[in-house]
Structure 1
Amino acid sequence: MLRAIVKQGLRASSRLAVNRNPDTSSYVQQLEAEWETAKPFSELPGPTRWQIFRGFQKGGQYHQLGMDEVMRLYRKQFGDICLIPGLFGMPSTIFTFNEATFQRIYRTEGQWPVREGAEPVLHYRKNRKDEFFKDCVGLFSNGPQWGKLRSAVNPVLMQHRNVAIYLKPMQRVNRQFINRIRELRDKDSAEVPADFLSTVNHLTFESVATVALDEELGLLREVNQPPGARKLFKNIEVFMDSFFILGMKPSIYKYFPTPTYKRFSQASDEIFDTCSMYVNKAIERIERKTAQGSTKDEKSVLEQLLQIDRKFAIVLAMDMLMGGVDTTSTAIVGLLLSLAKNPEKQQILRKEILGKLPSTDRDFSLEDMKSLPYLRAFIKESMRVYPVIIGNVRSAGTDVVLYGYRVPKGTHLLMVNSFLLKDEHLFPRAEEFLPERWLRQKDGNEDSANVLINNSLNPFVYLPFGFGPRMCVGKRIVDLELELTVANLVRNFHIEYDYPTETTFKTTFLYKPNFPLKFKFTDVKY
């Protein structure tokens, strides 16, 4: 069945690629003319392999620097584009810091955009002894296989109509999160413990699990947390920590199983076993309901995926859990900081939310969520000020000229856009937190998008979920999760933070909270 469905999806994605492909004959001619006069690839500035290897060793200029600090150093040393040579089987990569090159890369990415950076996952899945992933590597793959899988999953995860399916279970998880805050906070100071990030991670993990595994795992409970759920959560943490080490720093794991790769491989094995267990339990539930004649009119996301293929459902559940926890947690911590540091904006947001839903006893409906423009603007501004990732990754879809240099097809590229989000030329008053910049101008209001965003802003600067066919497959899930979480926090609590916030995040490829999350949650009085 999977083969038939993905063939249909492949034909659809091919039509989409033709329709959205801007490579008209004149554009192709322009590219060819630029190629003839561009500087050769070999002249791209950048460090040598030895400088990279030595730089990351103890005492080197990159040792113990966060990824953003390394990127700033590259930009200072080499300019807006540089070539970083690969070591130990890692590919050489062009780092670009210029928004015009971003647009050129995306416009020429082709039918099946290639996103590198997942080599540790692909290496593990290729070398797994039981060959489970042989014909279904998952969404970390590239090329036609990725195109088939993505075409099969898009109608399930990217369609707006399916949001209603996971709205209720995600709201139940959100209510548990609110109750957990009340349990955790100090009765005198109203502050939660410094390790509150673990609770935020439990929220995001549970929210993804309700979609990927069709089950609430119980990690937001104070007691009786299921051992299988705790084990799965711990393994996701180990997986993510080791993934960034293997993927971003020189390593010989492809030739010799290093200690980090061994931890990564063991965590991947256990994630596979646990996800398989939960998917099998879901299959049993579905079969019992079918036998009893009590099937629901609306099938869950997992049920829809199982209709495509059981193996595909297991692999996608793993991919969603691996990619949807840390990133969403970072976004939520950024939102908490934005609320705490901008009390006047917090109050404007509270007024909008309480105007739509004055009682905390009632859950939000889809119609409620559609009519909260300041909430959506607040989230966008928070993700500008506190981005989740340092940039987006692609491989060149064709021979292309970037910043005056020839870049052959297949060259690995990292578009570092996080620095541009606070560029005064692109976002006037960039250091201020102004959700109004994302709202339409009203009657000469100076705090509006027409004034606070450069009218000529390149649309490829602000892309928190990526772009095009390889846009984050969980975008609609994350959008809903962030909106529900912020709305419920604000209608229940005044949020404050009374500590320094200068060095709040550390960076691998992902920005991760690096400060005690001792937020103060005071009940809103009605």
Structure 2
Amino acid sequence: MLRQSIKLGQSTAYRWSSSAAALKTNAVDSSYVQQLQAEWKTAKSFKELPGPTRWQMFRGFMNGGEYAKMDMRNLMIYFRELYGDTFLMPGLFGMPNNLVTFNVDNFEKAYRTEGQWPVRPGSEVFVHYREKRADGFFKDCMGLLSSGEQWGRLRSIANPVLMQHRNAASYLQPMQRVNQQFVQRIREIRDKDTQEVPGTFLKEINHLTFESVAVVALDRELGLIRNPEKSPKAQKLFNSLQNFMQTFYELTMMPSIYKYVSTPTYRRFSRAMDDIFEVCSFYINQALERIEKNPADSAGMMSVLEQLARTDRKFAIVMSIDMLMGGVDTTSSALSGIMLNLAKNPEKQAKLREEIVAKLPHPTDEFTFSDMKALPYLRAFIKESLRVYPVAFGNLRATGADMVLDGYRIPKHTRLLMNSNLLLDDERFYPRAKEFLPERWLRQQPNESENLVADNMSPFVYLPFGFGPRMCVGKRIVDMEMEITVANLVRNFQVEYKYPTENAFKSTFINQPVIPLKFKFTDIKY
């Protein structure tokens, strides 16, 4: 049973503040409005948009249908070939339509008109579950999945806590401890002769990201890397997160009547959500009791959980749950891609190791925050890896105004799926796009006569963490987690992979590895 109160401070709503880019996006000037209105008068109607019919969608997703075995990426590419850069995917069984676009100019229009409280759809099944919970826990706090004024209030609580460098830096040591356990785990499970880890290594990566998120969201390590057999509650939470990811995609993308009838898939989803809530609540209440007994003084550094709880205790619980649901599989996907790029580009791996060892010569030395800021090739390597193996298909918004996209009238509140990450291997934007070139992200490129990023390229092509007020609230912590992990792997091991990497990922809402990750980890001799 959740405790009803915690006396850490009064609930406070902060005024929404955002980055300069977001402010510029939200300030839609009168000339731009006039431009939109002029375009509207001569545009084609919404009904004239190309795309499959509802019957084609229904039949295509059924067993044996032409879409049934396609992942998200291949489905989008298939529809693009049929219907062009902008098309409509009609919703089924009460689900809304999705307008899909590959046109970068359309991305900019959507972001420039999204307004003060941008709406990011796609979480209807979450909202349905939270609204229907018998205890009504989420009624007045849907978390950052909400929209409108409630979202604005909650985001203004989360931003000063999660988006500050100082708060992210406070987790440098806890995450390094988790990382050291991961390095030791690699040494324990790799084959003594081949030095390869088992093909199920993705599970170990998931344990790493699960523990890394837990030290922030739950204010503790759960022991799933060190002693998985002694952590049944943590294992239950981990398994529930895996079940949640699978059922969430099925309920969102596949035809379903879960809003009217509790289907088997929805019941699995609901059970996973119940278990996540139960276990997270247990750990969070333990943490809050500990904080209440030993609060940080004014000079001390408060944890993320304590800072959130001082402002809004219920939101602290909901935010902790949402960080786990949103931060484990996504970061695992990113790290899997980074490791594949390390293994397949040994000369780049060597260059990265040279930079890291020059800063910290011994593999047991711990990074400081200033060390992490002085590793430009590490950041470039990660950035290029997220281009080659993006985590998701793109970004989703509800249009914030009536507008014209590719000559069609698009009403306000239309769900817009912007396939930005399917443009990341386009030569128009990234010359030599098929090559892995971290150098393209360095300020001083080795060959100044060759541009590795197109001149005057739209900033809306590469958005791994989203854009504007609804960009990923955990970006700073995720960045640090990836940097620590990659740096520790490279200074401890030579990473190799001797198997094919074609079609390494399957695309749902995120890109998940589907090949056995039998990496070879050979100890670096110092």
Structure 1 length-normalised TM: 0.96
Conserved 8 A contact 1:13-1:151: no
Contact 2:228 2:235 in 1 (8 A): no
Q: Partner residue of 1:9?
A: 15
- TM-aligned CA deviation for residue 108 of structure 1: 0.8
Q: Distance in 1 between matches of 2:23 and 2:353?
A: 45
* 1:149-164 mapped onto 2 (5 Å cutoff): 149-164=154-169
Report the counterpart of residue 254 of structure 1 in structure 2. Answer: 259
> Who is 1:186 aligned against?
191
Alpha-carbon distance between aligned partners in 2 of 1:423 and 1:442, rounded to the nearest angstrom: 20
Correspondent of 1:422 among 408, 422, 425 = 425
Determine the structure 2 residue equivalent to 1:479. 479
What amino acid does structure 2 have at the position aligned with 1:423?
D
| Identity of matched residues, % | 61
Provide, for residues 243-284 of structure 1, a one-character-per-residue CA deviation record: whole Å limited to 9, x for no partner.
011011111111111111001101111111111111110112
Could you tell me whether the CA contact under 8 Å between 2:497 and 2:518 is conserved in 1? yes
Query: What do residues 213-253 of structure 1 show as CA deviations (whole Å, max 9, x unaligned)?
Result: 00000000145431110111010111111001101111111
Equivalent residues of 2:25, 2:112 under 8 A apart = no
The amino acid across from 1:481 in the alignment is E
The answer to whether structure 1 residue 494 and structure 2 residue 494 are counterparts is yes
Counterpart residue number, 2:355: 352
Q: Are residue 389 (structure 1) and residue 392 (structure 2) matched?
A: yes
Contact 1:165 1:301 in 2 (8 A): no
* Aligned-residue RMSD, C-alpha: 1.8
2:25, 2:468 within 8 Å by CA — same for their partners in 1?
no
Aligned-partner Cα distance in 1 for 2:339–2:19: 42
Distance in 2, matches of 1:314 and 1:477, equals: 18
Q: Partner of 2:413 in structure 1?
A: 410
Separation in 2, partners of 1:145, 1:2: 20
Q: How does 1:508-519 map to 2 (within 5 A)?
A: 508-519=508-519
SS at match of 1:95: strand
Q: Aligned partners of 2:161, 2:324: CA distance in 1, in Å?
A: 16
1:411 shift after superposition:
0.3
The one-letter code matched in structure 2 to 1:323 is G
Question: Deviation string for 1:94-153 (max 9, x for gaps)?
Answer: 000111111111111111110010111100000001110000001111111111100111
2:55 corresponds to which residue? Answer: 50
SS at match of 1:423: coil
Cα distance in 1 between the residues matched to 2:228 and 2:243: 23
- Structure 2 distance, partners of 1:189, 1:101, is 50
Which residue number corresponds to residue 93 of structure 2?
Answer: 88
- CA–CA distance in 2 between the matches of 1:439 and 1:487? 18
Using the alignment, how far apart are the partners of 1:3 and 1:92 within structure 2?
42
Unpaired runs of at least 5, structure 2: 1-7
Q: CA deviation at 1:374?
A: 0.4
CA distance, structure 1, for counterparts of residue 299 and residue 341 of structure 2: 40
In the aligned structure 1, how far is the partner of 2:230 from the partner of 2:438?
38
Q: TM-score, normalised by structure 2?
A: 0.96
Does residue 468 (structure 1) correspond to residue 475 (structure 2)? The answer is no
> Structure 1: where are the runs of 5+ without partners?
none
What code does the residue aligned with 1:325 have?
A: V
2:517 maps to amino acid: L
Would you say the 8 A contact 2:211–2:224 is kept in 1? yes
Residue equivalent to 1:197 = 202
Partner of 1:312: 315
Shift of 1:9: 2.7
Q: Could you tell me which amino acid in structure 2 is paired with residue 368 of structure 1?
A: D
Report the Cα distance in structure 2 between the residues aligned to 1:126 and 1:306, rounded to whole angstroms.
23
C-alpha contact 2:11 2:310 (8 A) present in aligned 1: no
Which one of the candidate residues 290, 304, 307 is aligned to 1:301?
304
Answer whether contact 2:175 2:215 (CA < 8 A) is retained.
yes
d(CA) in 2 for partners of 1:445, 1:524: 33
SS in 2 for 1:452: coil
CA drift of 1:20 comes to 4.7
Farther off after superposition, 506-515 or 295-304: 295-304
CA deviation after TM superposition for structure 1 residue 19, in Å: 5.8
5 Å matches for 1:223-234? 224-234=229-239
Q: 1:73 aligns with which of 74, 78, 91?
A: 78
Match of 1:380 in 2: 383
Q: 1:418 to 1:520 in 2, by over 3 A?
A: same
Query: What amino acid does structure 2 have at the position aligned with 1:188?
Result: D
The Cα shift of 1:58 comes to: 2.0
